[in-house]
Structure 1
Amino acid sequence: MSQSFDIAVIGATGTVGETIVQILEERDFPIGELYLLASAESAGSSVPYRGKNVRVREVDAFEFGKVNIAFFAAGPAVTRSYAARAAAAGCAVIDLSGGLPVDQAPNVVPEVNGALLATLARPLQVACPSPSAAALALVLSPLRDLLKIERVSVTACLAVSSQGREGVTELARQTAELLNVRPLEPRIFDRQMAFNLLAQVGVPDADGHVPLEKRLVSELRELLSLPLIKVGVSCIQVPVFFGDSLSVSVQTAEAFDLAAVNAALESADGIELVEAGDYPTPVGDAVGQDAVYVGRLRHGIDDVCELNFWATSDNVRKGAALNAVQVAELLIKDVA
């Protein structure tokens, strides 16, 4: 008889938390009891699951000994407040917030370094990287043995859903106000987001780097097991509801065969390679899908050691929720 697992989702009323519940149902994850948890302000609401509305409970009063796996899909402060309690109760922790140090909860993308899970102590504590780092690592992973990568430069165009449901609501509100010729008062963002591009996402440090840029660099090095690789990152906020896009340039130590790069990506799990002459977009291709879409692969204009490409994926679904559920699937693989 197959085994079932009791699951908790913390941050269940957020965009990522709701999507985790949706994907658990879609992939028929063997759930015994499902507990949906959130702050006191969100407790009492409900989230649909298998034809029913499951009531959301307050996380502060929850006994983690009731569950086998807890998905932490709220902010870093929530993870830091409750993850230790969950682990002490024998519950596996899958953190999507970046709230735990890497030596405590290493980052895992199943298609890239899923084998790492077998080496970790139980109860397992593991992290899911930022959606942009997950997407970029997924594309670069099948190229590690093919290219001698020296440097990666990326401009990450982040959808407003990277700021949670509030970001989505804010873009919709700003768009409506502008289209109706009403005065615009920015709230979540520090200036107009609708029909605009914002050159930084978050508060920069003394050197001008925002936390998300530094996080992407460290996560990419960790996921690819390339601690010395040079990475240049600029994160910008774009007026797109869902779907992050990456403009990437990879500098290699020697010339490479572009056809071999295409072949490696075409055969890799989790990647949809768009044929030459076409390119993917978040709205037309990636949103709601379970793959990273890659296109516009080309050499540098005057450098045969340079690879340029464009990638896009659903930041909430593929970059966060699906990655977390796939980690859980690997975790239970040997005991279900």
Structure 2
Amino acid sequence: MTRTFDIAVIGATGSVGEALVQLLEEREFPVATVHLLASGESAGRALSFKGKSLRVRDLETFDFSSVRLVFFAAGSKVTQKYAALAGAAGCAVIDLAGGLTAAQAPRVVPEVNPQAVAAMKAPYLLTSPSACAVALSAVLTALPAHIRIQRMTVTACLAVSSRGREAVAELARQTAELLNARALEPRLFDRQMAFNLLAQVEQTDAEGHSALERQIADDIKQLMALPDLPVAVTCIQAPVFFGDSLSVSLQTEASIDLKAVYASLDTAPALELVELDDFPTAVGDAVGQDVIYVGRVRAGLTDPAELNLWITSDNVRKGAALNAVQLAELLIKHYL
């Protein structure tokens, strides 16, 4: 008889939380009882799961001892407040918000570093890293083993959904205002987002880097076990609802064998390689899909040891919710 597990999804009413619930059903995760939780203002809503309407409950009053596994998808502050309580109750924790340090909860992508879980002890606290890091690390892992990366530069064009439902609504409202020749009133964003590119995402520190840019760099170095790798990250806010796109440049030790790169990427299970006569887009290819698209694979203009890539994936589904569910599948198969 297949074992089943009582689980909780915190932040069930958000974009990632809803995608989590959907994927748990689609992938036939062995759920006995699923508890949908949110803050007090979102509690009381109903979500569908396996043909039933489940009421979202208030996180504040939840008893963590009633479940074996908890997904945290409600922001870093919520994780910081409740993850220790969940762990103390014996729950495995999967944090999707980056609220725990790497020492508290290692960043894990099943296609990249599943062995990181084997070194841990119960209760298991894991972090599903930033969506950009999930996509990028999966591609880097699929490259031929002989490639040695010396430096990495990433320009991440992020969908507004990376900032939650409010940002999606803001882009929709701004777009409607402009198309109907009404005066634009920025709210969540400090300036026009529709039909525009913003050169930074969220606030920057004294050195000009945002917390997300630092997080992506740190995530990549941990996932790839390359703590000293120089990684430069620039995050750009793009006027796209869902789907992140990354322009990546890798400086390597030796000249790139493009045929070997194509062959490795083409056979990687989590990737879809698009040949040079075409290219993938977030809207046309990645949104709603469970694979990561890679295109524009080419050497540098003047440096044969430079490898350039274009990567796009669904930031909510693949980059966040699916990776977290795959982590849960890894836990219940081998550790819980």
TM-score range, shorter chain: over 0.9
Name the residue aligned to 2:161: 161
Q: TM-score of the superposition, structure 2-length normalised?
A: 0.99
Is 1:80 the counterpart of 2:84 in the alignment?
Answer: no
Aligned to 2:54: 54
Q: Which residue of 1 aligns with 2:14?
A: 14
Work out the CA distance in 2 between the residues paired with 1:76 and 1:236.
21
- How far the C-alpha of 1:144 sits from its partner, in A, is 6.3
Distance in 2 between residues matched to 1:225 and 1:261, nearest whole Å: 21
What amino acid sits opposite 1:46 in the alignment? A
- What TM-score do you get using the length of structure 1 for normalisation? 0.99
* Number of equivalent positions: 336
Whether the 8 Å CA contact 1:3–1:335 is kept in 2: the answer is no
Counterpart secondary structure, 1:333: helix
Q: Deviations over 1:99-136 (max 9, x none)?
A: 00110100000000012112211010000110001111
Select between 285-294 and 275-284 the one with higher mean Cα deviation: 275-284
Shift of 1:142: 2.1
SS state of the match for residue 208, structure 2?
coil
Deviates further, 308-317 or 258-267: 258-267
1:309-333 CA-to-partner distances (Å, cap 9, x unmatched) read 1000000000000000000000000
Q: Residue 146 of structure 1: CA displacement?
A: 2.5
Matched, 1:318 2:318: yes
Q: Secondary structure at the match of 2:136?
A: helix
- Give the aligned partner of residue 328 of structure 1: 328
Counterpart Cα distance in 2 of 1:330 and 1:132: 21
CA distance in 1, matches of 2:101, 2:148: 29
Amino acid at match of 1:244: D
- 1:145 offset after TM fit, Å? 1.9
How far 1:176 sits from its partner (Å)?
Answer: 0.6
Structure 1 SS opposite 2:295: strand
Aligned residue in 1 for 2:92:
92
Matched with 1:218 is 218
1:268 aligns to what? 268
Structure 1 residue 183 displacement after superposition: 1.1
Q: Which residue of 1 aligns with 2:243?
A: 243
- For 1:231 and 1:334, the matched residues in 2 are separated by 33
Q: CA RMSD in A?
A: 0.9
Secondary structure of the equivalent of 1:111?
coil
Q: Per-residue CA shift, 1:263-322, capped at 9, x if unaligned?
A: 111111211111221100011110000011000100101110000110000000000000
Q: CA deviation at 1:143?
A: 2.2
Listed as ranges, the matches of 1:1-336 within 5 Å are: 1-143=1-143, 145-334=145-334
SS in 2 for 1:250: strand
Show structure 1 runs of 4+ deviating over 3 A: none
AA in 2 matched with 1:96: L
Q: Which runs of 5+ in 2 are unaligned?
A: none
Code of the residue aligned with 1:36 in structure 2: it is L
The alignment partner of 2:40 has SS state of: coil
SS in 2 for 1:113: coil
**AA aligned opposite 1:20:** L
Q: In the TM superposition, what whole-angstrom CA distance separates every residue of 1:55-111 from its partner, at most 9, and x where no partner exists? A: 000001000011110000001000011000000000000000000011010000000
Contiguous gaps of at least 5 residues in structure 1: none
CA contact (8 A) 1:146 1:261 kept: no
**Structure 2: distance between partners of 1:160 and 1:146:** 37
- Aligned counterparts of 1:334 and 1:125: Cα–Cα separation in 2: 15
The alpha carbon displacement at 1:48 in A equals 1.2
**Secondary structure class of the residue paired with 1:3:** coil
Q: Secondary structure at the match of 1:151?
A: strand
Q: Could you say what secondary structure the match of 2:113 adopts?
A: helix
Report the 3-state secondary structure (helix = DSSP H, G, I; strand = E; otherwise coil) of the residue aligned with 2:93: strand
Amino acid at match of 1:284: G
